[in-house]
Amino acid sequence: MSLLLGQLEPLIASFFEQDVTGHDLEHAVRVKNLALYIAKREGGDQKIIEIAALVHDVFDWKFKTGSDNRVLNYLKDHLSDEELSHVLQIANSISFKGALTEVPRLTLEGMIVQDADRLDAIGAMGVARAFAYGGHKGQKMYDPAIEVQTHHNFSEYQKKQSTSINHFYEKLLRLKDLMNTETAKGIAERRHQFMQRFLTEFLLEWHQEEFV
Ligand code: ADP
Ligand code: NI
């Protein structure tokens, strides 16, 4: 591990220390590893990909606390101006702000980090993170009375009441078709099928259909 990354990871760990929403150092490291795996097949600047993957959630709208400054200062000290602006541009543009929100054009490095982040939101990891996030938010696992929402912009997406199961229909099942790279599409396929199996089983047990 390079010196640069060796010092960056503990900073990110302390940033996410209190987080139980599925954002933690482990998520950042999984995204980094997925992104580097994709990059081996698709190309791109490894240093930018590695760092952007590690910091991609640090500047997210959901946890603007000011504690992101230490990470930012660290990046300023260790990257050229051009590298810093590329990393920040990736971090700012990949977070999902609702299905219909226009997103800026991504560089190859940005596409790869976005794919890696989306892959970690689906499959078994996606299931676990959806319920961890829902529990933290105090939202129900499922409620047939709460309809799956469609949203028209970012502020609607932020406000609407949901359940963790609805989140699959509102976001997670869409991600497979939003992958940028062929490598990520391949990985997404299996993870998508697993989520579908999970949902079928969940709804079967919810409605207790296995007894009838
Ligand atoms: P990411 O790290 O992919 O940018 P987000 O910040 O959007 O993810 O969300 C963190 C995790 O919480 C993801 O796994 C996401 O699927 C999940 N999540 C986000 N919103 C909800 C929700 N309303 N209900 C359940 N899970 C959610
Ligand atoms: Ni993320």
* Per-residue pLDDT of the chain in tens (212 residues, 90 and over written 9): 455 667 888 888 888 876 655 578 899 999 999 999 999 999 999 999 999 999 998 876 555 555 567 889 899 999 999 999 999 999 988 865 544 455 668 999 999 999 999 999 999 999 999 999 999 889 999 999 999 987 666 666 666 788 999 999 999 999 999 999 999 999 999 999 999 999 999 999 999 977 76
Total residue count of the chain as it appears in this document: 212
**Is the CB of 21 inside a 6 Å radius of any atom of ligand 1?**
yes
Mutate to test the pocket of ligand 1, among 57, 163, 167, 191 (most ligand atoms within 8 A of CB): 167
- The residue nearest atom 18 of ligand 1, judged by CA position, is 130
**Is the CB of 167 inside a 6 Å radius of any atom of ligand 1?**
yes
Q: Tally Cβ neighbours within 10 Å of residue 67.
A: 15
**Distance between CA atoms of residues 73 and 13, nearest Å:** 16
> Sign of torsion, CA 70 33 107 19?
negative
**Is the CB of 183 inside a 6 Å radius of any atom of ligand 1?**
no
98 with 151: CB under 8 angstroms?
Answer: yes
- In the chain the first and final C-alpha atoms are separated, in Å, by 56
Query: In the structure encoding, which two tokens stand for residue 47, read together?
Result: 């240093």
pTM of the model: 0.89
